Amino acid sequence: MRTLIIVIAVTLASCVFAQHPSYDPRYHTVAEVIEEITALADTYSAYCHLESLGHTGVDSITIWGMRISDNPTADEDETCIEFHGGQHADEPAGVEVCMWMINDLLHRIDAGDSIAVKWWEDYEIWIIPQMNCDGRIMCLDSGYTEWRKTKRDLDSSGTYDAYTDGVDPNRNWDYMWEDYTATDLDNTKGPYPFSEQCVITMRDFFIRERPLYIVDYHSPDSCGGNKLWICWWFSEGPYTGWGPDAQNNWREIRDDLAAAILDETGEPYEGAASYHTKPKLQTWTYYELEVVVS
Ligand SMILES: [Zn+2]
């Protein structure tokens, strides 16, 4: 009997942490991300601190943020830069970039790398590797490989169905939410602005920390190449073209950053312009907090 219980327990545990076979096992599952950052935060507690920033809406999974800075448990008066991945559940590349950066930075600080140590001393670097954890579980663990949105039973059917359920966390912000009328199921904006817990978590974090610069990683199959987007570009109304801030300040920074990011074949990223017409993380954060998000 005892053996049977152990077998059942092991089987259940491996089900919980199993990854759907259509995904490359090199991608981290939600559980693997949490396990790895917890271990790193224990090992390198002098360099970083993990903080629970909130929870997801259905499965109540902690949305963890890692602050990498000297005096890592203190909120010091230092410039804050934030990186996050996993807003869209079926775009795992951003999560992997965040995990790679966490590992790389901590190991370089530990090895005394002069640039990494200077960043660690001078800045507060926040990395939030997975924002939409519930959606990632639907996609990576549960086999809905095209699940992009949050986990929300929109039609109250008692089940979670790909496409008809879920809210696009990148259409759930309250800037331009009323005006946004797209009806495609991939971009469902939700029952009301900030209906999604992972969106609330990010909003509250941005208000609290006011980063100087934010990077919101995506890896869609639809944007025509590797691009670095900034706000913003007016496509209609009395003004058409770049906003003055983008024109005078951020375009040049965008171009330098894009040129410095190379893809796996050595080609640089392209600079791109975001419209201001969608209720996205990027547009809200720029409009409300004047923080530029790429
Ligand atoms: Zn995306």
pLDDT digits (tens, 9 = 90+) for 32-61: 999 999 999 999 999 999 999 999 999 999
CATH of 2-222, one of 3.40.50.300, 3.40.50.2300, 3.40.630.10, 3.40.50.720: 3.40.630.10
Buried b (16+ CB within 10 A) or exposed e, 105-116: bbebbeeeeeeb
d(CA 70, CA 87): 28
The tokens describing 220, both together, are: 């869609």
DSSP SS3 for 126: strand
Q: How crowded is residue 148: how many other Cβ atoms within 10 Å of its Cβ?
A: 25
| Range in 6-15, 204-213, 216-225, 240-249 with the lowest mean pLDDT | 6-15
Q: Name the DSSP letter for residue 171.
A: G
What does the pLDDT look like over 174-202, one tens digit per residue? Answer: 999 999 999 899 999 999 999 999 999 99
Q: How close is the Cα of 166 to the center of ligand 1, in Å?
A: 14
Q: In what order do the strands lie in the sheet with 270-275?
A: 241-242, 227-234, 270-275
Q: How close is the Cα of 40 to the center of ligand 1, in Å?
A: 27
What does the pLDDT look like over 86-121, one tens digit per residue? Answer: 999 999 999 999 999 999 999 999 999 999 999 999
On whether the CB atoms of residues 226 and 94 are closer than 8 A, the answer is no
d(CA 138, CA 147): 6
Domain boundaries, the chain: 2-222
Neighbours of ion ligand 1 (CB under 5 A): 88, 91, 218, 220
Q: Name the DSSP letter for residue 116.
A: H
Q: How close is the Cα of 187 to the center of ligand 1, in Å?
A: 10
Rg (CA), the chain: 20
Q: Name the DSSP letter for residue 140.
A: I
On whether the CB atoms of residues 194 and 259 are closer than 8 A, the answer is no
Question: Average of pLDDT values for 74-82?
Answer: 95
